[in-house]
Structure 1
Amino acid sequence: MAKPLSAAAFLAALRAEGVKVKEVGDWPTHNRNHKGPWGPANGVMIHHTVTSGTDASVRICRDGYAALPGPLCHGVIDKTGVVHLVGHGRTNHAGGGDPKVLARVIAEDYGDRPPKPTQGNTGGEDGNARFYGFECVNLGDGKDPWPPAQLDAIERASAALCRAHGWGAKSVVGHAEWSSDKVDPRGVGMPGMRDRIATRLKHPASWSRGSSKPTNPAPPKETPVATTDSKVTALHSNLLTIGSLTEVDGKGARVNHGAGYYLAHIERDTTALQLKVDRLEKTLAEVLALLKTKS
C-alpha cells in the first residue's frame, strides 16, 4: 500500500510523462480530507463527466453541487488533452465500491478485467480514500466522441501515477469496474486503455506513442575547465556532457536536456523505490504482528 504523492510530486509526475497541465486555483489544498482518510493509495480511476464544454466541466468538478460537494476528482481531462488540476487529497469521485475489486487491483492479478462488481456506491468500500480520479469531458451517451488527444492524456496521466508508485497498468480501472451502479467511462474500453498504459510503462516517461525510439547521439567534445585539480576537471567535464545530451522527441525535434532534467528523473525513481520499500516494511510489520498474536 502506497502513501499518496504530495501535490508537488503529483504535478512533477504528470509533467515528466508529457501531460499538458493547467493548474486551477488552490488545487494543492482543495480536498475533502476533513470528511475521511486520504490513502493508502491503490490505483487510478477514470470517469466521464456527463457534461460538455471545458469551462463548465472544470467548474463543476472543482466546486461540485448541492448533493455532492467538490472537488469531484483530482484532474479534469478535456477533449484537447489538457488536464485541469482541481484538487489534491480526498475527492468525491469514486464513492463506494466492491472490496473484491480493490483486492484484485492491489494484487494486479486479474485478466482483461477485474471481477464484475456486485457492490454499489451505497455501503461499499471507500474508494475516495484509495484512488486518484480523473474526470473526462464526455456526455457518456455512447455517441459523444473521445478524441485521440483526450485518450492520449488518459494514458499519460494514468501511466504517470503508475510509474511514480511502481504500479502496473492493472492498477487503473474505470468507475464501472469498481461500482455496480456506474457506467463510466462509457465509450472507453478499459482493457484496451490498460494495454496502452502497459506499453507506455515499458518506455521512458518522455516516450511518445507512434514515434521512433528516442536516440542519444554522442555528445560533442568539451573543453575542460582550466584547473590543476583533476577531480574538478573530471566533474566539470561530466556535467558538460550531461548538459549536451540530445534526444529526439515525439515530433522529431532534437531537444537538449540539462543535468537538472536527469537529476529530476533520478529523484522521481528514488521516490518510487522508497514507496516500494515502505510498502514492504508495512507488510512485514503486519506479518510479524500476526505471528506474534499466534505465538
Structure 2
Amino acid sequence: MAVPWLIDVLRGAGVQVVEEGNWRGRGVSGSFAPIGVLWHHTAATSSPSNPAPALNVCINGRPDLQGPLCHALVDYNGVFHLISANRANHAGRSGGSGPIPVGDGNTMLIGWEIDYNGVNQQMTAAQYNASVAATAAVLKQLGRDASYARGHRETSTTGKIDPSFINLDTMRADVARRMQGGGLSNLAVYRGSNSRFYIRKVDGSGLLTEVPFGGPGDLPATGRHENLSIDNLAVYRSSTATFSIRRADGTTLTIPFGEPGDLPASGHYEDGPLDNLAVFRPSDSTFYIRRGDNSQLAVPFPGAQAGDVPAIGRYQAIAYDNLALYRPSEGAFYIRWADGQVARIPFGNPNDLPAPGYFETTTLTNLAVYRRATSTFYIRRADNSISAVPFGDATVGDVPAVGKHQ
C-alpha cells in the first residue's frame, strides 16, 4: 500500500508542501500498511538560513541505513518536504505504544522527521503547528483517531529520545482538537444577572446555545475537566472558594479550592489531557494550582498589581499554558514565559476584560479582550490584524467566557 494521496491530504489541511524528486516512487522493500503517524527529530540544527539541513540524509540514507528515512521532512519554517509514498526506514521495531502493537514499525507507521537538533534546540512553532495539522489530516484519511499519533521514544525498543522537548499527550490532544473541526474557541459571555452562558457559533452564524448555570456573583471558569473534545462550562464562587463544573451528562461537580476573594485561573499545567483547577490570589499576587494528585503548587507572579485578572493561555510553543494577567487599568497583558520572565504586551483599552482563546487554526492562543463599553470582542490575529466582533450585552453585566464549546 502506497500513500500517493499524501500531497492532497496535506494541502487540504493548509500545510505547505514541496515535492522532493520522485517521492511517489521512492521507498525501500517490504510491506507497508500504515495505521498511524510517528514523530521524530533529525538531530540536525536548522535555522532560517538553513531550514532543512537533514533533507539529503532523509532522502538518501546513511552508510548504515538505506534511505528514504521518512515520508516527509518538516523544515524550520514548517514546510513539509515529501520524500516517500512507500515504506521508509524510520521506525525500526515497535515495542508497542497505545494502539500501536509490537511489530515492524516501518510497516505500520508514516513518519515525519522534524528538522531540529533536540539537544539545545526545540521544535519551532511553525514546525509544531504544521505537524499537528498534517498528522490530524493523515489520521482522518486512515480512519484512525489521535491515539494513533506517537513519538519515536514511545515505540522504540532501542532507547530513542525523539522528539525532544515535546509533551506527547499534549500533541495528541492538539491533534484530536484539530480532527474535531479545528478546535476553535467560541466567543461566549456569562451573564451574572440571570446566571446564564451565551455561546456564539464558531462560524459566526448566530447563537449556538444559552445554558443556565451557576448563581449570582459567580465568575466563569470554563475548562476541559472531562476527557471530551470540548470544554466544560464552569463557574467559580469567590465568596465560598468553590468551583462548580457542569458535566457532559448535565450533573454538577462541586470542588472547593482556594480562599474567599480568589479569582479563577484554570489551565493546562501538567501532563495529561485535562485542565487543572487553579486560582489567582490578589492578596499575595500568587497563582495556586491544584495538581492531579490533589497537592497544591504556589507560583508567585512578579509585579502583579491590584485589579489584575487572570488571562491564562498557551502563548508559546511549550507543553503547558502560560500563567498570565491582564491589567485593565493599562489595557495590557502580562505573560510569564517558561523561563520565568514576564513580558508586557499592550492590547485593548483601559477597562477591557481579557478574553484569550483559539480563534485561528494554530496551536497558540490569540490575545483578545472584551470591551464592555461596546459589548465587543477584539481579537489579535497571528498576522497582528485585529477582528472586532460584537456579542453579548455588557450593560447587564456580561463578562467573557471564551471556550471550546462545540
TM-score grouping bracket, smaller chain normalisation? 0.5 to 0.7
Deviation at 1:6, TM superposition (A): 3.2
> Are 1:105 and 2:102 matched, yes or no?
no
1:126 pairs with one of 95, 104, 108: 104
Distance (Å, rounded) in 2 between the aligned partners of 1:90 and 1:106: 17
> Against the structure 1 CA distance between its residues 190 and 70, is the aligned structure 2 distance closer, same or farther, given a 3 Å change threshold?
same
Distance 1:210 1:146 in 2: 25
| Residues 129-144 of structure 1 aligned to structure 2 (within 5 Å) | 129-141=107-119, 143-144=120-121
Name the CA distance, whole Å, in 1 between partners of 2:205 and 2:32: 41
In structure 2, the CA distance between the partners of 1:194 and 1:56, relative to structure 1 (3 Å rule), is: same
Number of residue-to-residue matches in the alignment: 193
User: What is the CA distance between 1:48 and its match in structure 2?
Assistant: 0.3
User: What is the CA–CA distance in structure 2 between the aligned matches of 1:174 and 1:252, rounded to whole Å?
Assistant: 28
SS in 2 for 1:176: helix
From 178, 202, 205, give the equivalent of 1:200.
Answer: 178
The answer on whether the counterparts of 1:20 and 1:82 sit within 8 Å (CA) in structure 2 is: yes
Q: What SS does the corresponding residue of 1:28 show, helix, strand or coil?
A: coil
TM-score (norm 1): 0.60
Counterpart AA for 1:37: S
Name which of 70, 73, 90 aligns with 1:93.
90
Q: Counterparts in 2 of 1:134-283, with a 5 A limit?
A: 134-141=112-119, 143-180=120-157, 181-203=159-181, 207=182, 213-214=202-203
- Give the match for residue 67 of structure 1: 64
TM-score (norm 2): 0.44
CA distance in 1, matches of 2:153, 2:116: 15
Matching residue's letter, 1:44: V
Contact kept, 8 Å, 2:89 with 2:106, in 1: the verdict is: yes
Q: CA deviation at 1:208?
A: 8.1
1:50 equivalent to 2:43? Answer: yes
In structure 2, the residue matched to 1:25 is: 21
Distance 1:146 1:210 in 2: 25
When you count helix as a share of all residues, which structure comes out higher?
Answer: 1
1:152 counterpart SS class: helix
Shift, 1:11, TM fit: 1.2
Whose strand proportion is higher, 1 or 2?
2
State the 1:81 CA deviation. 0.8
**1:126 and 1:193 mapped to 2: Cα distance?**
23
Distance in 2 (CA, whole Å) between partners of 1:148 and 1:210 is 19
Cα–Cα, structure 1 residues 97 and 31, in superposed 2: closer, same or farther, change >3 Å?
same
Matched residues, percent identical?
30
**1:210 CA drift (Å):** 7.0
SS in 2 for 1:27: coil
Structure with max Cα Rg: 2
CA deviation profile, 1:222-261 (whole Å, cap 9, x unmatched): xxxxxxxxxxxxxxxxxxxxxxxxxx986799xxxxxxxx
Query: Residue type of the partner of 1:52?
Result: T
Residues 19 and 215 from structure 1, CA distance in 2 versus in 1: closer, same or farther, beyond 3 angstroms?
Answer: farther
Deviations 1:144-187 (A, max 9, x none): 02221111011011001111122111000000000131110011
RMSD: 2.6
What SS is found at the alignment partner of 1:61?
helix
Structure 1: where are the runs of 5+ without partners?
108-123, 218-247, 254-295
Distance change in 2, residues 1:13/1:144 (3 Å): same
Tell whether the 8 Å contact from 2:40 to 2:151 is kept in structure 1 after alignment: yes
Q: Highest relative contact order (Cα 8 Å, sep 6+), 1 or 2? A: 1
Q: Which runs of 5+ in 2 are unaligned?
A: 188-201, 207-358, 362-380, 384-406
**SS of alignment partner, residue 183 of structure 1:** coil
Alpha-carbon spacing, 1:209–1:133, altered in 2? closer, same or farther (3 Å):
farther
